[in-house]
Amino acid sequence: MKTSHMSSVAMETPEEVHMKPTYSGNKALAQEEKLIFELGDMAKTGVDLAEPAPIPSRLAEFERTDPIGLPGLTEPEAVRHYVRLSQTNYSIDTGMYPLGSCTMKHNPRLNEKMARLPGFADIHPLQPQQTVQGALELIDALAEGLKALTGMPAIAMSPRAGAHGELCGIMAIRAALEARGDARKTVLVPESAHGTNPATAAQCGYAVDIIPSSADGRVDVAALKAKLDHDVAAIMLTNPNTCGLFERDIIDVAEAVHAAGALFYCDGANFNALIGKVRPGDLGIDAMHINLHKTFSTPHGGGGPGAGPVVLSSALAPFAPLPYVVHGPDGWRLIENHDEAGDQADDAAPFGRLTAFHGQMGMYVRAYAYMLSHGSDGLRQVAEDAVLSANYVMASLQDVMSAPYAGPCMHEVLFDETFLDGTGISTLDFAKAMIDEGFHPMTMYFPLVVHGAMLIEPTESESKESLDQFIASMRFLVLAAKNGDVKRFKSAPQFAPRARLDETAAARKPVLRWHPN
């Protein structure tokens, strides 16, 4: 007797069998996995719950009677589903992740151990403050460490990400300008800036004026000074900039900005190059966010929430947003409103409440563990090793690839696609081939100031052996490109769970919803 699933095998013709690599679609450990909504059914469950007692419904005709379509899976099915999905993912725990301007460094397991301590992991934002004194103290200790590392007198801990930190900084700047009766209209942003910078300025109601880059990849200081007038509220500068170069005129820039009555926001996304070496406060910066998920090794990129505390100069300190932690006779507590803030300092004028609660507690614990386990000498070595790694990559590849700006670079190295001229291969194709080599591609087509940008940030986490393998793989790909092996690039990735996707079709005709059959 034939069962139905057996008959589907029998229907395969010899040709069909020959063409199929495997019947299941699985390739050994690379398992094909359906969406969870295509698995199981409502009748199945992994837990044995008693049927709840009936309650009288007050929904009347609004009560839903048709199924809501939730999947039902047994526990082993649920476990396999998520394990298989995790195995198709690429992460910093899998291999090198040289995504420029993202600082994809190792997430130390010590951080994870500390974050799982019950006193940090099992608390709730609404529980009485006297029961979470240790957590509040940790927030303050981390804040003090960040202030010391940046040489800044104040900090807003609550921003949840870099862009949120930018919003916080520009709102503080706007509050400070309005407090002195000097509302201004424009924010200056270099053309190599992260896209979030002009977006933040626009979100805060400012017109954005773009400062051109000079031939050496840095901000054109003369052009910047020419734009400084009494309508300029602030400049937003990234240092090192997105070309991986130190803005060596930064003190000159800060003095000119302040002389014009404007304030200086620094995008701290690239602080990994400076930590322990340079204090932004000494450069004349008024506000800078610190991406804990970059410089301070907390997981990110799908692995965890971000956190972007903002350090503030004395000019902006009174306008720091609520809530924040203080220490008084009754221990640690959160300042939650303007009256409490006024009791703390006469000039306190918080621009408002930036977040519902104090911020990302788990990230604070991880960042503080990272800070303490490194110490000041260790953090200085982080910056030195990160810059050394990037320069090693630059020095090892610049004879075969094309660096638009002369080195030495800082923590990341920028190449353009000039070296691919005449090969028919683009930066995109090159990045796809890197996937086949087992690397996460570098940041591509950013910054926009060079053609076909390839921005590589190895971080301090990679060993010399790891860097050497990356460099050798890149040299191999350059050789393949110059030898005319176009197919290797145009069909890449060939060995990923999915081969080359049609990105144009995905953008032109996006399928954003899954529909049941």
Report the interface residues with other proteins, using CB under 8 A. Answer: 428, 445, 448, 451, 503-504, 507-508
456 exposed, middle or buried (CB, 10 Å; 0-12, 13-18, 19+)?
buried
Edge to edge, the sheet with strand 454-456 lists 413-415, 454-456, 443-444
Pairing of strands 287-289, 310-312: antiparallel
3-state secondary structure 320-371: CCECEEEEECCEEEEECCHHHHHHHCCCCCCCCECCCCCCCHHHHHHHHHHH
> Nearest distance from residue 504's CB to other proteins, in Å?
4
Q: Which is nearer to other proteins, 338 or 451 (CB)?
A: 451
Q: Which is nearer to other proteins, 53 or 507 (CB)?
A: 507
3-state secondary structure 49-78: CCCCCCCCCCCHHHCCCCCCCCCCCCHHHH
> Nearest distance from residue 236's CB to other proteins, in Å?
19
Residues pairing with 414 in the sheet = 455
Tell me the C-alpha distance between 67 and 62, whole Å: 14
Q: Which is nearer to other proteins, 183 or 448 (CB)?
A: 448
> Nearest distance from residue 437's CB to other proteins, in Å?
22
> Nearest distance from residue 426's CB to other proteins, in Å?
8
Sign of CA dihedral 188, 300, 85, 463: positive
Give the number of C-alpha atoms closer than 13 A to the C-alpha of residue 405, restricted to the C-beta side.
Answer: 26
Characterise 459 by phi-psi region: left (phi > 0), alpha (psi -120 to 50), beta (else). Answer: left
Q: Which is nearer to other proteins, 179 or 505 (CB)?
A: 505
> Nearest distance from residue 448's CB to other proteins, in Å?
6
> Nearest distance from residue 506's CB to other proteins, in Å?
9
Residues 366 and 291 sit within 8 Å (Cβ to Cβ): no
Q: Which is nearer to other proteins, 11 or 215 (CB)?
A: 215
Could you tell me which residues come within 8 angstroms of residue 467 by beta carbon, excluding any fewer than 6 positions away? 389, 392, 393, 396, 458
Residues pairing with 219 in the sheet = 213
> Nearest distance from residue 508's CB to other proteins, in Å?
5
Q: Which is nearer to other proteins, 96 or 211 (CB)?
A: 211
Residue 440 φ then ψ, to 5°: -70, 135
> Nearest distance from residue 431's CB to other proteins, in Å?
12
Neighbour-count burial for 316-354, b at 16+ CB within 10 Å, e otherwise: bbbbbbbbbbbeeeeebbbbeeeebbeeeeeebebbeeb
> Nearest distance from residue 199's CB to other proteins, in Å?
12
3-state secondary structure 378-424: HHHHHHHHHHHHHHHHHHHHCCCCECCCCCCCCCCEEEEHHHHCCCC
> Nearest distance from residue 419's CB to other proteins, in Å?
14
Residues 443 and 429 sit within 8 Å (Cβ to Cβ): no
Q: Which is nearer to other proteins, 203 or 473 (CB)?
A: 203
Q: Which is nearer to other proteins, 282 or 421 (CB)?
A: 421
Q: Which is nearer to other proteins, 399 or 503 (CB)?
A: 503
> Nearest distance from residue 144's CB to other proteins, in Å?
41
Q: Which is nearer to other proteins, 6 or 507 (CB)?
A: 507
Q: Which is nearer to other proteins, 176 or 442 (CB)?
A: 442
Tell me the C-alpha distance between 376 and 221, whole Å: 33
